Amino acid sequence: MAINEPKFESFIFHDDGVFPNNANLALIRLIQAFDAWPEVRPATIEKTFRKNGWENSWRNGLYAFHHYHSTAHEALGIYAGWVKTQFGGPEGKRITARVGDVIIVPAGVSHKNVDQSPDFRVVGAYPGGQMWDMNYGKSAERPDADENIKTVPLPATDPVFGKAGPLMQLWD
């Protein structure tokens, strides 16, 4: 399986009063970062992420409720099916990601699985093995979550393309 040239789109999500989101770092969707033919193997995504310093990987799906992480950025590599995810809270943007896509979610950005194909599967990982927390948009989470988000270190590399990846251009 090949890693393709970087094609991407990016989005900024501002605090909506419930979810802090992240007005300083763009959410990035790497479009078909991994060649989907004949298949994308989860082990290949994990190996690529690990090679680029994104660790603590897991395999599963995405939660069907709004949540965010205030202590870690997150990379999501789609290895089967498709998922429609809402970012930025209930009034945020819906993005459909397909097998081969990678979404890089900055700390603080709310995300929720809105719909998915029956075969949808994803690998998640965190830069430098950052430890993630789970936040749900409850008022008691803030202002601590806001302070955490400000101190999350920037990744040393893009999870797929290393030092030359779009993340390095957009998050400098």
Identify the three-state secondary structure at position 45.
helix
* CATH architecture of the domain with residue range 8-166: Sandwich (2.60)
Distance between CA atoms of residues 142 and 6, nearest Å: 36
Copy the structure tokens of residue 25.
């770092």
Query: What are the structural domain ranges in the chain?
Result: 8-166
* Per-residue model confidence as pLDDT tens digits over 78-92: 999 999 999 999 999
What is the band of 119 on the pLDDT scale with cuts at 50, 70, 90?
very high
| Buried-exposed string 144-162: b where 16+ CB fall within 10 A, e elsewhere | ebeebbeebeebebbbbbe
Q: Could you tell me the two tokens for 92?
A: 């945020």
Does residue 1 register a pLDDT over 90?
Answer: no
Residue 144 token pair: 């601590």
Phi, psi of 22 (to 5 degrees): -155, 100
Positive or negative, the CA dihedral 50, 14, 20, 98 is negative
Q: What is the reported pTM?
A: 0.95
pLDDT(131) > 60: yes
Distance CA 5, CA 56 (A): 25
pLDDT at residue 116 tops 80: yes
Say how far apart CA 108 and CA 27 lie, in whole Å.
Answer: 10
- Residue 75 amino acid letter: A
Q: What is the mean pLDDT of the chain?
A: 95
In angstroms and rounded to an integer, the radius of gyration of the C-alpha atoms of the chain is: 15
CB atoms within 10 A of CB 84: 15
Return the closest-CA partner of residue 69 out of 134, 129, 25: 134
pLDDT tens readout for residues 89-107: 999 999 999 999 999 999 9
